[in-house]
Structure 1
């Protein structure tokens, strides 16, 4: 359905609804279309006004869709009004509405209210990664780097994995700042990337380069380059560390997997000592292996009707 280009009167909305093949979902479909088309807020308002006059109320899902349109267009005052209306009517909002509210307010001059909403979310559910990242970016954008990193560490403590986008933002917003504690935080991010073998994309690499070069008194010079198969950097001739496991690291990993994953707290939940010992003997006597096939995964390659547990 194509949204109108200008606000409509009640009778005009009624005619559109009557001509729609599923009148019972007309308003929802129309608002979805408005979001996709980035329609004028005034057009959406005229629809909600019509719904309120016709039904005496506006359903929660319609308010959320209107909120999405407001966030999309950066209509801060409308976002604030929607929050007030929804809190009065529904008291507790679901995560989708909070995501929109926090995202919309964090990109405005009302960004501190996004922090207030984040605290509100914490009281009723676990904030999403999106909630934290919106607030982190807002704090960084306003040079509140201590707050940004406080939220970043809080996010990590809740087991939420940051996207490269927010990590890049922390480098961008820290550019030119010389505080030792801030540098320590950013080196911590680099260490996090290294330990988890996460490789930044080109724009993120450029942000890291610019941050290093902006450190007061640092005299850093960064270069984007390609590393040779030898692992030697062609710019500084430094030998990069090998990402392959050493024999000692492999043995440590092997023991941890056996202890924590296979045995766990109760060996008999997954196997028995005799069965596991027989399996280890089987593997040892048939080394080396070129290919290892996971039978359970193979059984799910075919359509469901062809699955077989004996693959």
Structure 2
């Protein structure tokens, strides 16, 4: 499904890759059907592996002669000729059973680090009893907190675990337990609990790891202390470039609290680090822009659409609905959008206009060719992330072929 606008060009259809696997005896093959672009141009690629010429040379021979092997006590055991090869499947287990004939009688069932998570808060005696019944090598507290984080358990149950741990350790709770509890607070949007954990971490630790910063930023943006998330972002900048998720959360927090200038500044900073913004971040800008009479803000949203077009980024259905709603809410305009499909000819079935092709036009191809020859070959631009071996040689062959004929089919 595509999102079509009357009077403007639509977003092109996503590429679809459908793998088909076909294995034949002796000649396994892999066929890949690629549906390219708008016009459903299908291409088949076939990859085949040749059958081995000499299977005897590649397979380890099975020993048929009898051999002697020393036991643990120094005695020699004679292994029959029909015994499995040293590297055969299951041979190690069979040899272990031969050396320890009594192991079958005294074999114990494997111990699993499993535990039934409580569904309600427990007191100290109940946690003590649960730990006594636990059989496993893993740390009980870490295992329970990890399971709670995975299962998104109740915050109250996790809080009773922390209270039990603090009572045993003079009021101290480890960093890992705090982070997992913080994760639950963020998932359930318990802002007050997030702030409590934030105060504990700020008083106890001078710096955090990236996961702790990410959770605190996401938890603080929904509170009145959302600007402290910006301070945490500055702390991250001291050691590394923040992730697009960190920037996205801070942008969302700024928009939630009507600080549009800070949101756009963070967005430009994100692009300055060559980071691709998350679709949720761009969606937040369009959701905030509904019914806003601000030409400057509208122009910035149009710049986002151009950014998507230039970088071949395609919004999902939820983001497309936000774009549609924003266009229809522009004061003084009469935009109307609807979801539609694209015909094989490349025409929109709704407005009848031809959708912009993802393939280069002859003029665009000549421009790109001239730019590479001028800037890379004659100029000073260099590719910094290529290996000096095959890729460089292949690139030179490609350029020579390109300069002679103008077109080249090239494989690495």
TM-score interval for Structure 1 and Structure 2 normalised by the shorter chain: 0.7 to 0.9
1:37 shift after superposition: 3.5
The within-5 A match list for 1:1-311 is 1-22=115-136, 24-56=138-170, 57-254=172-369, 260=376, 264=382, 269-270=388-389, 289=409, 293-294=411-412
* Distance across 1 between alignment mates of 2:221 and 2:392: 55
Q: Give me the whole-angstrom Cα distance separating, in 2, the residues matched to 1:277 and 1:119.
A: 44
Give unmatched runs, 5+ long, in structure 2.
Answer: 1-114
Provide the TM-score with structure 2 as the length reference: 0.62
Alpha-carbon distance in 1 for matches of 2:333, 2:398: 56
Displacement after TM superposition at 1:111 (Å): 2.7
Give me the whole-angstrom Cα distance separating, in 2, the residues matched to 1:210 and 1:101. Answer: 32
How far apart are residue 8 of structure 1 and its match? 2.5
Greater radius of gyration (CA): 2
Moved more, 56-65 or 249-258: 249-258
Whether the 8 Å CA contact 2:401–2:408 is kept in 1: the answer is no
TM-superposed deviation, 1:257? 5.3
| Contact preservation (8 Å) 1:74, 1:108 | no
Is 1:67–1:79's contact at 8 Å kept on the other side of the alignment?
yes
Q: How many residues align?
A: 291
* RMSD over equivalenced CA pairs, Å: 3.3
Change (3 A) 1:210 1:190: same
The structure with more helix, counted as a fraction of residues: 1
* Cα displacement (A) at 1:212: 0.8
When residues 183 and 273 of structure 1 are mapped into structure 2, their CA distance, relative to the original with a 3 A threshold, is closer
Give the direction of change, closer, same or farther, for the CA distance of 1:280–1:186 in structure 2 (3 Å limit): closer
CA–CA separation in structure 1 for the residues paired with 2:166 and 2:274: 42
Q: Following TM superposition, by how much is the alpha carbon of 1:170 offset from its aligned partner in structure 2, in angstroms? A: 1.3
User: What is the rounded CA distance, in whole Å, between the counterparts of 1:5 and 1:270 in structure 2?
Assistant: 59
With over 3 angstroms needed to count, the CA separation of the structure-2 counterparts of 1:275 and 1:173, relative to structure 1, is closer
**Pair 1:272–1:205, CA change in 2 (3 A):** closer
Distance in 2 (alpha carbons) for counterparts of 1:220 and 1:277: 50
In structure 1, what is the Cα distance between the partners aligned to 2:244 and 2:331? 32
Q: Which segments of 5 or more consecutive residues in structure 1 lack a partner in the other structure?
A: 295-311
Q: Relative to 1, partners in 2 of residues 1:93 and 1:288: Cα closer, same or farther, differing over 3 Å? A: closer
Residue deviations 1:5-36 (CA, integer Å, cap 9, x gap): 33333333222223223355111111122223
Give 1:193 shift. 1.0
Q: Which moved more, 1:274-283 or 1:233-242?
A: 274-283
Measure the CA separation in 2 of the matches of 1:158 and 1:146: 19
1:69 deviates by: 1.2
Using the TM superposition, give the Cα deviation of residue 149 of structure 1 relative to its aligned residue in structure 2, in angstroms.
Answer: 1.9
